Amino acid sequence: MTATGTTIVVPTMGRPSLDVLLEALAGQRHPVDAPIVLVDDRPDGPELELDARGLDVTVVRSGGGGPARARNLGWRRARTPWVSFLDDDVVPDEDWYELLRHDLRTDALGSCGRVRVPLPADRPATDWERGTAGLAGARWITADLSYRREALARVGGFDERFPRAFREDADLALRLGGTLDERSTITTGQRWITHPVRPSDDWASVRQQAGNADDMLMRRLHGPGWQRRADAPVGRRAAHVATTAAGIAAVGALARAVLRRPRRVSRTAAAAAGLWLAGTAEFAWRRIAPGPRDRDEVRRMLLTSLAIPPAATWHTARGLVRHRNATPWRGLPDLVLLDRDGTVVHDVPYNGDPARVTPVDGAKEALDRLRHEGVRVALVTNQSGVARGLITPEQVAAVNGRVAELLGPFDGVYVCPHGPDDGCECRKPGPGLVKQALAEAGVAPARAVLIGDIGSDLAAAEAAGVAGVLVPTRQTLPDEVAAADAVAASLPDAIDAVLRGAW
């Protein structure tokens, strides 16, 4: 564990700003001794070419799942008490890491950094620049935000249904209990970052209206008062809907008038058009007035002020429909426990010979999918052959070593060497092994899954408060299958279900 007890996670699209960030981290007044996980969120393309500058950097590819998924991939790999998130386009002050170490000496669940957004000194800021400057006063902004790892695991991390860097930070904070009246939940630290204004094109503000769909997800998950709890601006959604409705009414009335009386425009069409024009003009002026008012800015504001109301209305409607049945986010488990014989390798009774170890079909690929997602995997296995004098502890260890050699590393291997009549607490169906694995991994029972092939595996899971998935074999009794809450045809199918959230 590092001196600070944190892992730095940076989702990235491979922009040139990433190199600037790494240079700033390498040049810190107090050397950065924390592991850094860069999550390459590009859908495809060549590997990142970067100069780590002596930093402890690991690169993970997400396949383009969006920033929420990228952050989840990063924090689940962390084995430190804290996880510190940075965006790839920020520049930490030279004392950032030193102050981060101080900020994390807190009993709170999280710590926000402070953000400055440099604006032009020789002219008024543009609409885009003013929008970016709003980040300086935003709460819970993941441009620089640290959380306790156990808190992230408890709620399943970031909700990956938020596809862009918008609202996923507020959603997580609200799920962790953050409100304006509970400032101790997520504190504001003393460290600073600079968030430059990104270049933009004419239509960037129109594309941003997709965030209205995310607001509908927030409303579904947190209720109609979520903006007040998150200290988020209400925005102009109602005005945009009214302007759009007036525009649609004007077009409809005008079309009817032209079809029926070609030389006469109805009063309805004229009134609706007037309302649309007034709403659009007010919106455009509100955006133009504070800015530089040069030709390019005025042109951009006029064009986008025409497009933003219908875009915002469309995305609002889309979000209402798409998220109408959204349920609370669960995320992936933090730990998957696996029985050994009959589950990950074929059952050879009382096997003490590593040469006889044969994985079940698809086991390594399935386990590697869990590892790629940052989900920890561990074995929990009864080995009563030790108590019966049929195999030795050394033989059990050798077989377990061969299992790991064939299937990849495990975060823990837990063995009960006792017989059925020994009265121990660790032998499945008792919960002892499962509880030991949970305790050593620091994982709550609700964030773990056990996959096994017989009823005693699932009984141990239930006794420990862990979800269980049964993968039947020839040794599985019909009554055990009937009693199982979750059954999968194979180990890969069971792990697929876990990764889909069906656990």
N- to C-terminal Cα separation, the chain: 31
pLDDT, position 265: 60
Catalytic residue among 41, 171, 334, 339: 339
Structure tokens at 442: 């620091």
Told to judge if 361 belongs to the known catalytic residues of this protein, a careful annotator would answer no
CA distance 213 to 315: 5
CA distance 219 to 232: 12
Matching residue, tokens 């860069």: 38
CA distance 501 to 329: 10
27-38, pLDDT tens digit by residue?
999 999 999 999
The residue extents of the domains of the chain are 6-200, 237-322, 335-499
For the chain, how big is the Rg over CA atoms in Å? 28
195-226, pLDDT tens digit by residue?
999 999 999 999 999 999 999 999 999 999 89
- At residue 139, what are phi and psi to the nearest 5 degrees? -90, 145
424-447, pLDDT tens digit by residue?
999 999 999 999 999 999 999 999
Q: Which fold has domain 335-499?
A: Rossmann fold (3.40.50)
Least confident of 137-146, 232-241, 265-274, 356-365: 265-274
Superfamily of domain 6-200: Spore Coat Polysaccharide Biosynthesis Protein SpsA; Chain A (3.90.550.10)
- Mean pLDDT over each residue of the chain, to the nearest integer: 93
pLDDT, position 379: 98
- The DSSP symbol for 446 reads G
pTM above 0.95, yes or no: no
Told to judge if 44 belongs to the known catalytic residues of this protein, a careful annotator would answer no
Catalytic residue among 144, 214, 334, 341: 341
CA distance 449 to 460: 11
Quickly state the pLDDT bin for 2 (edges 50, 70, 90). very low
Neighbours of 276 (CB within 10 A): 22
Quickly state the pLDDT bin for 4 (edges 50, 70, 90). low
